Amino acid sequence: MITFMNNSDSEEEPCNERTSLMSAESPPVPSYQDGLQASEAGEAQGHRRRTGSSRSPNNIADGEVSDSAVPVRERALENEEEELTLKYGAKHVIMLFVPVTLCMIVVVATIKSVRFYTEKNGQLIYTPFSEDTPSVGQRLLNSVLNTIIMISVIVVMTVFLVVLYKYRCYKFIHGWLILSSLMLLFLFTYIYLGEVLKTYNVAMDYPTLFLVIWNFGAVGMICIHWKGPLQLQQAYLIMISALMALVFIKYLPEWSAWVILGAISIYDLMAVLCPKGPLRMLVETAQERNEPIFPALIYSSAMMWTVAMAKSDTAARGPSQQTWDAAEDGRENHRTTSHADSQMSETRSPVPTRPITSFEELEEEERGVKLGLGDFIFYSVLVGKAAATASGDWNTTLACFVAILIGLCLTLLLLAVFKKALPALPISITFGLVFYFSTDNLVRPFMDTLASHQLYI
């Protein structure tokens, strides 16, 4: 039951110079799995029971303290829950590791092989200040200004989205999201495919290209915004995050990228944890209305086995914030089908034989871990930038990768402890940044010297 709430940052659709079409993607939206779980399931009772036990199985101190304090009966119950939590928690961690790793692999592979994404070819309009300045101070200033502009754009969009959500302008959001995912799926895929083909010098005629892209895009739209097999949805989400990350890596100038990464994690922290933060307000509003919060921007690793597949609540959704479809479905469906669900889940769920009620089984099935797509994107941006700019060194990339995964683990642990919406970016990005800079500057000369003398440590 490790639920994961992450700040999914924006699918900021940059306006690159190839198109003057500016479709702004949604700004950072957190996906609050906790809220999601509570509202979706309607197995709120089970949920409350779990939230009642405030220990995390992984937190040793808690375990030791509560051992003595808690009465035996409750403790047995809690133990069972905790063990369940732990077991599924570990599984969920793995379930998140795989997609994050996949996304990063795609990004790094592309960066290392396709020249296009490392060439400097202009900048986004969101980062107007150039970094080609003669002095270091000027460059720093420009990058800070760029960051300020970018972050304010993101904040504005988030607030706009929250306002829209509050005033129930679902259709507008719906349309916005469809537009942005259309652009991502078609335009960016076209560019990506073109560059890859160029790199490997493979000829492809336009009709074939059109066919391929049309199929890819159409299936993607359907999978993401409507119904589709879970794995396909997950695959599409990963691909989309990778594409987005590649765009960021290409169009963000170097220092700006690092400063933006740092600033975004701070913003994430504040937006999610401060009482007046937009993201927190979003969660609370959604919880009041008992609706799932933006399932669209979330990668989910598990799904509720209902008759209507791809239900809004837990299914993985597209990058666009178009959940209103889903939310509306969800709201209508989940009351009526919750009984069906529990029965379905009993028969279909692959949950192993444990002496738990169907309620809990359903909960387990539903409580796949969820991670916001923005998190995927920014993790991949970090690793991709490391691959692109760290003097071609694989060690740095590897170090950043491990750092991010460990950060993710820690965040999941914290989630299990606190059981509420948490930002996913800060810890991982901090680790990643620290490791990037230190590995690049400190470890690399050391390892290079060692390797040249063939010494091993």
62 as an active site residue: the answer is: no
Torsion 337-338-343-349 (CA) sign = positive
Compute the half-sphere exposure of residue 52: CA atoms within 13 Å on the CB side of its CA. Answer: 13
CB-nearer residue toward other proteins: 75 or 227: 75
Residue 350 structure tokens: 């692959």
Residue among 76 and 204 whose Cβ is closer to other proteins: 76
Give CA torsion, residues 300, 425, 244, 314, to 10 deg: 10
**Cα distance between residue 73 and residue 58, in whole Å:** 21
Least separation in angstroms between CB 368 and other proteins: 22
Nearer residue to other proteins within complex by CB, 276 or 453: 453
Residue 266 CB contacts under 8 Å (≥ 6 apart), including other chains: 426
Considering only residues 13, 291, 393, 440, which one is a binding residue for other proteins as defined by CB under 8 A? 393
Contact characters 394-423, other proteins, x per CB under 8 A: xx--xx--xx--x-----------------
We find the least distance from the C-beta atom of residue 76 to other proteins, in angstroms, to be: 7
- In the three-class reduction of DSSP (H, G, I as helix; E, B as strand; rest coil), residue 357 is classed as coil
Number of residues that bind other proteins (CB under 8 A): 40
Q: Give the nearest distance from C-beta 265 to other proteins in angstroms.
A: 19
Contact between residue 101 and residue 405 where contact means Cβ atoms under 8 Å apart: yes
Nearer to other proteins, 33 or 396 (CB): 396
Q: Which of 126, 305, 435, 436 contacts other proteins by CB under 8 A?
A: 435
Q: Which of 49, 70, 79, 235 binds other proteins (CB under 8 A)?
A: 79
Per-position b or e across 252-263, b if 16+ CB within 10 A of its CB: bbebbbbbbbeb
Stretch that binds other proteins, among 248-256, 262-270, 345-353, 432-440 (CB under 8 A): 432-440
Number of continuous H segments (helices) and E segments (strands) in the chain? 17, 4
From first CA to last CA, the distance across the chain in angstroms is 40
Select the span of 22-30, 33-41, 129-137, 441-449 touching other proteins (CB under 8 A).
441-449
Measured from the CB atom, the residue of 133 and 395 that comes closer to other proteins is 395
Provide the minimum distance between the beta carbon of 63 and other proteins in the complex, in angstroms, as a whole number.
4
Mapped onto helix, strand or coil, the DSSP state of residue 372 is strand
Token pair for residue 157? 């969009």
Q: With residue 298 as reference, give the H or E element that holds it.
A: strand 298-300
Structure tokens at 254: 């170097």
**How far is it, in rounded angstroms, from Cα 27 to Cα 14?**
12
How far is CA 442 from each of CA 262, 314, 407, 436, 448, rounded to the nearest angstrom? 21, 44, 21, 10, 11
Query: By CB under 8 A, what part of segment 224-263 binds other proteins?
Result: none
Binding of other proteins by 74 (CB under 8 A): no
Tokens 């306006």 sit on residue: 15
Query: 78 or 131, CB closer to other proteins?
Result: 78
From candidates 121, 199, 343, 449, binder to other proteins by CB under 8 A: 449
Q: How far apart, in whole angstroms, are the C-alpha atoms of residue 201 and residue 207?
A: 18
Minimum distance, C-beta of residue 80 to other proteins, in the bound complex (Å): 7
Quick one: which segment of 62-70, 126-134, 214-222, 370-378 binds other proteins (CB under 8 A)?
A: 62-70
**Binding test (CB under 8 A) with other proteins, winner from 67, 74, 288, 332:** 67
Quote the least distance from Cβ 200 to other proteins, whole Å: 15
Residue in 325, 375, 393, 440 annotated catalytic: 375
Q: Measured from the CB of residue 442, what is the shortest distance to other proteins in angstroms? A: 5
Stretch that binds other proteins, among 52-60, 193-201, 271-279, 310-318 (CB under 8 A): 52-60
Catalytic residue among 268, 325, 393, 440: 268
Restricted to residues 86-115, the positions that interact with other proteins (CB under 8 A) are 86
Pick the binder of other proteins from 287, 338, 358, 438 (CB under 8 A).
438
Rule CB under 8 A: choose which of 49, 51, 63, 232 binds other proteins: 63
How far is it, in rounded angstroms, from Cα 207 to Cα 80?
Answer: 58
**Shortest distance, CB of residue 131 to other proteins, whole angstroms?**
27
Name the residue type at position 329: D
Question: Environment class of residue 348 by beta-carbon count within 10 Å: exposed (0-12), middle (13-18) or buried (19+)?
Answer: exposed
Minimum separation from the CB atom of position 92 to other proteins (A): 16
Task: For the chain, give the longest Cα–Cα distance.
Answer: 72
For residues 266 and 260, give the distance between their C-alpha atoms in angstroms, rounded to a whole number.
10
Active site amino acids: 268, 375
Residue ranges binding other proteins (CB under 8 A): 57-60, 63-64, 67, 76, 79-80, 82-83, 86, 392-395, 398-399, 402-403, 406, 435, 438-439, 441-443, 445-451, 453-457
